[in-house]
Structure 1
């Protein structure tokens, strides 16, 4: 039997077909949406905060153990699944890309939130009891607004949600010397955006360096400074991630996946995948 990874939008989960945000306590959401425990994708942003629970959460083939005071940030298109040992407690907020853009002051404001960069290890953050308390208070306020009928409740929800994003971003900035608002970081962030737009057709750092009006050496230096890997590795990692996402869809043949990723033939795709993943596409598909 073939398996096609489902993609859910808010309309298929929320009872209100016109909503672009869904807010819920995690225990109710988990029990009412058992089908969401299996591997699936979202067309929306997904914020998940655990106040109690144990089990595991797999995001883009990386496994994370569920812990108290753990917060997840997921972007549209990521593949994930849950396996809870008991009914979890906490909060969940789903919102559409248009909702996200509607309360940001400027187009590049989104770049300040490292946890929405689509990299699984950056999207899972463990808070201490001290840092979790104000975040929990904000989630409780959001729940109250969502359940109330007060004037401008959606604007208040946006304000509270933005406070959560800023508080989490400050935790990162307060524990590192990373300078996000400088020229080099802007170039690096533009490089990541270009990869997302062009990874199936542009494979070489020099191609992206030309688009950014810098040298390949400069681009590599920026990547090593910010993420400690080369520009080539960043490009390859995005291709590999997409290959893995496509491989768990059994409706697609290996040849079709190779074509979608713009490889000249099945053989070249298999060699590329085995070189960087360590297994052939067929072996990865069987294991997953």
Structure 2
């Protein structure tokens, strides 16, 4: 069974094949996406705010209902797909990883916005009714700027996108609002970043604890208290997620996926995957293939 697994570059969505950013009404954007392969992943940030329509939307194999004024924020590398119902509209923003790096002194400035962290559960935001008018005004301004041919067009678009992030970041306080600068929160965020950078090679909580200059017990207590999961669970969950992302590429064998994830033994990878997901790699692929029909 062969199936093409597509990783899209932002240039494939732009008219001149050179754009670093796209801001568009979603209905217009959708007309150009008839040949998309699903599920797929991007190498750029992909944001959608729906104002009309329904159906479902999946991010990293988690499904969410589409409702008006619900926004979806996807980081590079996340797998997603959709199943639309009715007349769809809203706004879409795509921008490359490099788009803000030359504009902001802090190259990791966007990391402070939790909805861009690549965690599916944090990627879906409902816009409160009293904030919708302002959010739509910001997006309309960004769309108008996109249509211009002025000297500072890109910088103006950057400003509007940042204004959007700041507005949404302020309205969604979550659990971090009153402890944004706390020591424990900083440790947890650093741990998550270290997992993202090292999960292929570092598999043990004690290895990350050493990098954070804390004890393994402290790290486990931190994760359990804040997330209800052990440090080891977070590491294993990230490995399992990447396994899922790779397994939907049917051109790769299970053995190739295992080796790419740094498992020397294919049978150990299969046992690991089944323990984490409740199904074998082949069973997972059959489910994905059935859902895609």
What is the TM-score when the length of structure 2 is the normalising length?
A: 0.93
Task: Give the helix-richer structure, 1 or 2.
Answer: 1
Indicate the residue corresponding to 1:131 in structure 2. Answer: 131
In structure 2, relative to structure 1, the CA distance for the partners of 1:190 and 1:252 (3 Å cut) is same
Does the aligned pair in 2 maintain the 1:111–1:189 contact within 8 Å? no
In structure 2, relative to structure 1, the CA distance for the partners of 1:167 and 1:175 (3 Å cut) is farther
In structure 2, relative to structure 1, the CA distance for the partners of 1:29 and 1:37 (3 Å cut) is farther
Indicate the residue corresponding to 1:268 in structure 2. Answer: 268
Deviations, residues 182-204 of structure 1 (Å, cap 9, x unaligned) = 33322222211211121112111
Deviation at 1:151, TM superposition (A): 4.7
Work out the number of aligned pairs and report it.
288
Indicate the residue corresponding to 2:231 in structure 1. Answer: 231
Does the aligned pair in 1 maintain the 2:6–2:37 contact within 8 Å? no
Indicate the residue corresponding to 1:34 in structure 2. Answer: 34
Does the aligned pair in 2 maintain the 1:37–1:82 contact within 8 Å? no
Moved more, 105-114 or 63-72: 105-114
Does the aligned pair in 1 maintain the 2:44–2:94 contact within 8 Å? yes
Listed as ranges, the gaps of 5+ residues in structure 1 are: none
In 2: Cα distance, 1:50 partner to 1:235 partner: 33
Secondary structure of the residue aligned to 2:163 is helix
Indicate the residue corresponding to 2:82 in structure 1. Answer: 82
Does the aligned pair in 1 maintain the 2:52–2:67 contact within 8 Å? yes
Deviation at 1:277, TM superposition (A): 0.8
Indicate the residue corresponding to 1:210 in structure 2. Answer: 210
Indicate the residue corresponding to 2:91 in structure 1. Answer: 91
In structure 2, relative to structure 1, the CA distance for the partners of 1:92 and 1:177 (3 Å cut) is closer
Deviation at 1:175, TM superposition (A): 6.8
In 2: Cα distance, 1:61 partner to 1:239 partner: 14
Deviation at 1:264, TM superposition (A): 2.6
Deviation at 1:18, TM superposition (A): 2.3
Indicate the residue corresponding to 1:6 in structure 2. Answer: 6
In 1: Cα distance, 2:228 partner to 2:102 partner: 33
Give the aligned CA root-mean-square deviation in angstroms: 1.7
Indicate the residue corresponding to 1:117 in structure 2. Answer: 117
